[in-house]
A and B are shown apart, each in its own frame.
Chain A
Amino acid sequence: GNSVTQMEGPVTLSEEAFLTINCTYTATGYPSLFWYVQYPGEGLQLLLKATKADDKGSNKGFEATYRKETTSFHLEKGSVQVSDSAVYFCALSPGNQFYFGTGTSLTVIP
């Protein structure tokens, strides 16, 4: 079947620290992989995506690489800001359905 496992939070970092949020997946076929971000009181917004093995998605300083050999799609950012405080969701889609992780809450303190 299809499923996503992401590291549990909450995660608290100081401003300018390095961020890694781990995500691994189980899938049939060759899914697309996503990271979504949710700010308080809002819906999910697409942060980045990768559609095939070894692709790197990037946006707003965040990066994630589609690793088929380790079935992983870890989210990284070199220097976090207070404005990055949010909940981050890893997701996959093999076609018309989407499967989400449980979300990781990130708080960045000045």
Chain B
Amino acid sequence: DAGITQSPRHKVTETGTPVTLRCHQTENHRYMYWYRQDPGHGLRLIHYSYGVKDTDKGEVSDGYSVSRSKTEDFLLTLESATSSQTSVYFCAIKGERESTDTQYFGPGTRLTVL
């Protein structure tokens, strides 16, 4: 258990509204990631962070922004949600010390945009 929580776990929102998803970790891991999971696409990287205020884009970053003002929190924001952003969102961290090459995942957030 890498101590990763995500909130909210479920959210229904309307097109055009802003949405922020939160990922919280308790073990001071440097690297954190946001993915979306869609049928037929597996997991696709949205953004990742390699330290406080250090972030970079993944393959599907359009329409998403992130922030990391504290080591333990990594926020994903949809500035103006669209129906194509209906998905399950997973946060992950990269292990350290003997597990530096392994990712550990949170439980996911199911987002529905109507």
Contact = CB atoms under 8 A, between A and B. Distances in A.
Interface residues of B, number: 21
Q: Is the interface of B mostly helix, strand, loop or mixed?
A: strand
A51 interface: yes
Interface string B83-114: 00000001010100000011111111000000
Given A34-B102, A43-B90, A43-B107, A96 B42 contact: no
A49 interface: yes
Contact of A89 (B43, B94, B101, B106): B43
Contacts of A69: none
B105 A97 contact: no
Nearest to B9: A41
A44 B90 contact: yes
Nearest to B35: A100
Given A51-B101, A89-B43, A96 B31 contact: yes
Interface of B: 31, 33, 40-43, 45, 48, 50, 58, 90, 92, 94, 101-108
Interface of A: 32, 34, 36, 42-46, 49, 51, 89, 91, 93, 96-98, 100-103
